[in-house]
Structure 1
Amino acid sequence: MVRTYKRKTTRASTAPDIMLKAVRQVLVFKKTIRGAAEEFGINYRTLARYCSKIPREEVEGVVELPSCPVGFIGARQVFSPQLEAELVAYVLLASEVCSQLPPRAIRRLAFQLSHSHQLPTPPSWTHNRQASADWFTSFLKRHPLLSISSPASVSSQSHVQLFFSKLQTLTERHGFRAEDTWIMEEMGITTAQRPDRVLSRRGLRQTGADRGPLVSVVCVVSAAGRVMPPFFVFPRVQFREHFLSGAPAGSSGGAHLSGWMRDEQFLDFLQHFTRQTACTVDRPCLLLLDSHAAHLSIESLNYSRASGVVCLCFPALCSQQLERCVYGPFKRSVNTAIDGWMHGSPGRSITIHHIPGIVSSALPLAATPENISAAFTACGIFPLDPQQLEADGPVTPGAAAGPDSQEKDGLHWLSCDYTAADRCSNTS
């Protein structure tokens, strides 16, 4: 199908309001069909067809446009003009809060929106779980207000100030306490050991090419110093409960072939989060998280709104609290635990099934109340102190924690109000 279609005739060009006026002349003022058709310049057979097509209530009412389509109809589109306008409003809202969405995220959002409204879509949308590139190209042509641009490579001070402004607004609106403020961060743990530095003959190099399978661990801590049981993502197609053998009590998990969190796993994590915090709409909790495309699905938005989870994303490419004061000691504790396991199990190799047990022994050593409190204080999250970052120096970009890091630029701000996101996520 051509992307730019040009009409070759002028047939079926009658405006909808003109057609409604002509139908009223026939049905209300009892004018003949041929007479009304000649007065408004319409084919009399076309006018006769619309006299039975337009509802009688609209003809006798005061509406200006009929509800049925009138005139030439181009190629069938997936979304109605109203739904597409709401999608554009959401994209603009995300760009205004310094969280521009990448094209791939918009295509996934379009598929989820069509699925939630049970709209018919091309088979390629269902197969790829995202809208096609042709749809995205036409979407940009229909809305010239949108354009593709490259985001800044570092986080500006204005982005950080906007984040603290949003944080202060949410804190004042909901009255979040220390035990209601949580931070989540995802990190990968491989089965390949990272040994400590050793002395050897100068010039000797031994390089291993095997990184080993990767298991993602999602750690969540509160400003009160509480550590939530972690959420694991295993590199498998299906998740099995025995994967969590040796994990901390109360842990949950999911599975994805990459070993990293995706839309379905993030929804499972939200369910794990609500079970641990017992948050409700009347007693919500604040969840601070990274800007990542996996956190964008409409199912997650709906679940967060119904469960009282108020989510706020950090500015793109910024380091966060767990990276500053918790994950450094945690990685060292993991390497120490792996060394101890290998010394106690000679001739055996670590598999993904040993990772939960290693995390169970390493996490309490790193995520101490002192380290957690220092992380919140150092970044000025709790107690709220935006001037803390200015005292520490300029904001520096942090390393991406997983694949698709090019999509970490663009995500969203969520709140219990949801504004444009609320309209996009409502099902018909």
Structure 2
Amino acid sequence: MENKEKEYKKKGSWNETNLKTAVDLVLTKQMSLRQASVKYDIPKSTLHDKVASLNAGKEVSFVPKMGRFSKTFSPEYEELLVNHVKDLSNRCLPLMKKEFLKLAYDLAVALNIPHRFNCEKSAAGKHFYYDFMARHPDLSLRTPESMSMMRAVGFNKPQVDLFFINLDKLMTLYNFSPSNIYNCDETGVSCVQKHQKVIAPKTVRQVGKLTSAERGKNITILFCMSANGYFIPPFFVFPRQRMNDRLMINAPAQSIAMAQPKGWMNSDFFLQWMKHFTKFSHPSKENPVLLLLDGHSSHKTLDVINFCREHHIHLMSSPPHTTHKLQPLDRTFMKPFKNAYHEQCDMWMRANAGARITDYDIAGLVNGAYTKSSSA
């Protein structure tokens, strides 16, 4: 005889009408407890509890309850709590899970609402948290990105409005096409990659993964992209005294590189990049180009401004401390590129066991990540 798996009813799967009917039939002795339970698909224990409560003269609710815990807050107060959580997140002050549970407890106490929260810890419990998050799928537990106070204060309506007013004036005056609107931005890469999440046994307390070194040098790369998705070949700045052609082995086609002891972009290098940019963007009096960039000091020297005027390149800088919101490359390209670069480093480490990534491998790794990110 084959063993059949026992089927379990989902909690609260019965409806209010069936429960009332089943209870009435049992109370009037027209049907036994077992018969009513089977016919109306209601757990026998639930039906027994309702009948016993009514026989004892107690008030009974026929509305299904999911599990042991019912909702603590009414829909109005819960909506208030949700809006407060969202408002704090928009102000760059999001709540941690522990802070949220403490807030829920304080709200219940302040409103004198009956609850089953932990009074010793002065916090709501995990059941409340999971039920609350299930009822509000637009909220989730996220890992926040660090943001300085200057960025939080700098990104405000007057600053942003002024930026778009000036942008609108330029667009009206020159009518730039998408192929003539560019955005450039620098980022840094290192031979010490960041790791993605990995699969490992649960019993292992600490999971290790090889990196090339404890600390790595920072190589600056300047990327530039047009509004229609055309990329200017990258510009590298290596932290070295003198440039070596071997550093650009397997680099992206037609990209160029410079050497600087600290690997930083400076005004001379940016002017060199402007010449590189002009070679591929082909600006002219009949076909001017708009270049959006940040307000770094290397972008605003007299030599750069004169060069742009001579070659019909119109520079426009985003307001201070707003690039995390207004810089197109920051919003679309940089994160996929960084993720792809770290993946390339991991693959290189697996393919070259016992070796470490050096400056001479960086260009090739960047090429793989750049090709993947720019064509996505």
**TM-score, normalization: structure 2?**
0.54
Aligned partner (choices 246, 252, 255) of residue 251 of structure 1: 255
What corresponds to 1:191 in structure 2? 191
In the alignment, is the contact (CA less than 8 A) between 1:246 and 1:356 conserved in 2? Answer: yes
* In the alignment, structure 1 residue 359 sits paired with structure 2 residue 366: yes
Q: Displacement of 1:203 after TM fit?
A: 6.8
What corresponds to 2:265 in structure 1? 261
* In the alignment, structure 1 residue 164 sits paired with structure 2 residue 164: yes
Q: Displacement of 1:210 after TM fit?
A: 2.8
Q: Using the alignment, how far apart are the partners of 1:344 and 1:207 within structure 2?
A: 12
Query: Over residues 227-266 of structure 1, what are the superposed CA-to-partner deviations in whole Å (9 max), with x where a residue is unaligned?
Result: 2211111112233444222111111122222212111111
Q: Displacement of 1:217 after TM fit?
A: 1.1
In the alignment, is the contact (CA less than 8 A) between 1:231 and 1:269 conserved in 2? Answer: yes
What corresponds to 1:155 in structure 2? 155
What corresponds to 1:345 in structure 2? 352
Q: Using the alignment, how far apart are the partners of 1:204 and 1:237 within structure 2?
A: 38
Q: Using the alignment, how far apart are the partners of 2:298 and 2:259 within structure 1?
A: 14
What corresponds to 2:230 in structure 1? 226
What corresponds to 1:326 in structure 2? 333
Tell me the amino acid that sits aligned with residue 171 of structure 2: T
Q: Using the alignment, how far apart are the partners of 1:159 and 1:253 within structure 2?
A: 35
Count of paired positions: 220
In the alignment, is the contact (CA less than 8 A) between 1:289 and 1:311 conserved in 2? Answer: yes
In the alignment, is the contact (CA less than 8 A) between 1:230 and 1:251 conserved in 2? Answer: yes
Flag the structure with larger Rg.
2
Q: Displacement of 1:358 after TM fit?
A: 1.0
Write out the 4+ residue segments of structure 1 that deviate beyond 4 Å after TM superposition. Answer: 203-209
In the alignment, is the contact (CA less than 8 A) between 1:281 and 1:306 conserved in 2? Answer: no
Q: The residue matched to 2:216 in structure 1 has which SS?
A: coil
Equivalence map 1:21-420=2 (5 Å):
153-198=153-198, 199=200, 201-202=204-205, 210-318=214-322, 319=324, 320-368=327-375
Q: Using the alignment, how far apart are the partners of 1:299 and 1:260 within structure 2?
A: 19
Q: The residue matched to 1:342 in structure 2 has which SS?
A: helix
Q: Using the alignment, how far apart are the partners of 1:330 and 1:151 within structure 2?
A: 23
Q: The residue matched to 2:263 in structure 1 has which SS?
A: coil
Q: Using the alignment, how far apart are the partners of 1:207 and 1:275 within structure 2?
A: 41
What corresponds to 2:123 in structure 1? none
1:207–1:347 distance in 2 versus 1, CA, 3 Å: closer
Query: Over residues 137-189 of structure 1, what are the superposed CA-to-partner deviations in whole Å (9 max), with x where a residue is unaligned?
Result: xxxxxxxxxxxxx9984221111111111111111211210100011111000
Q: Using the alignment, how far apart are the partners of 2:152 and 2:231 within structure 1?
A: 34
Q: Using the alignment, how far apart are the partners of 2:207 and 2:337 within structure 1?
A: 30
Q: Using the alignment, how far apart are the partners of 1:151 and 1:194 within structure 2?
A: 25
Q: Using the alignment, how far apart are the partners of 2:305 and 2:153 within structure 1?
A: 28
Q: The residue matched to 1:160 in structure 2 has which SS?
A: helix
Query: Over residues 278-316 of structure 1, what are the superposed CA-to-partner deviations in whole Å (9 max), with x where a residue is unaligned?
Result: 213442211111111111211111111112211101111
Q: Using the alignment, how far apart are the partners of 2:174 and 2:215 within structure 1?
A: 45
Tell me the amino acid that sits aligned with residue 298 of structure 2: A
Q: Using the alignment, how far apart are the partners of 2:264 and 2:176 within structure 1?
A: 30
Q: Using the alignment, how far apart are the partners of 2:159 and 2:320 within structure 1?
A: 9
In the alignment, is the contact (CA less than 8 A) between 1:179 and 1:223 conserved in 2? Answer: yes
Q: The residue matched to 1:166 in structure 2 has which SS?
A: helix
Q: Using the alignment, how far apart are the partners of 2:206 and 2:167 within structure 1?
A: 52
Q: Using the alignment, how far apart are the partners of 1:252 and 1:173 within structure 2?
A: 34
Q: Displacement of 1:346 after TM fit?
A: 1.5
Q: Using the alignment, how far apart are the partners of 1:288 and 1:221 within structure 2?
A: 10
Q: Using the alignment, how far apart are the partners of 2:241 and 2:208 within structure 1?
A: 37
Q: Using the alignment, how far apart are the partners of 1:152 and 1:336 within structure 2?
A: 31
Query: Over residues 44-102 of structure 1, what are the superposed CA-to-partner deviations in whole Å (9 max), with x where a residue is unaligned?
Result: xxxxxxxxxxxxxxxxxxxxxxxxxxxxxxxxxxxxxxxxxxxxxxxxxxxxxxxxxxx
Q: Displacement of 1:207 after TM fit?
A: 11
Tell me the amino acid that sits aligned with residue 315 of structure 1: P
Q: The residue matched to 2:154 in structure 1 has which SS?
A: coil
In the alignment, is the contact (CA less than 8 A) between 1:256 and 1:262 conserved in 2? Answer: no
What's the RMSD between the two structures over aligned residues?
Answer: 2.4
Q: Using the alignment, how far apart are the partners of 1:242 and 1:163 within structure 2?
A: 42
Q: Displacement of 1:342 after TM fit?
A: 1.2
Q: Which has the higher contact order (CA 8 A, sep 6+)?
A: 1
1:271–1:321 distance in 2 versus 1, CA, 3 Å: same
Structure 1: which 5+ residue stretches go unaligned? Answer: 1-149, 370-428
1:192–1:204 distance in 2 versus 1, CA, 3 Å: closer
**% identical aligned pairs:** 30
What corresponds to 1:94 in structure 2? none
In the alignment, is the contact (CA less than 8 A) between 1:230 and 1:252 conserved in 2? Answer: yes
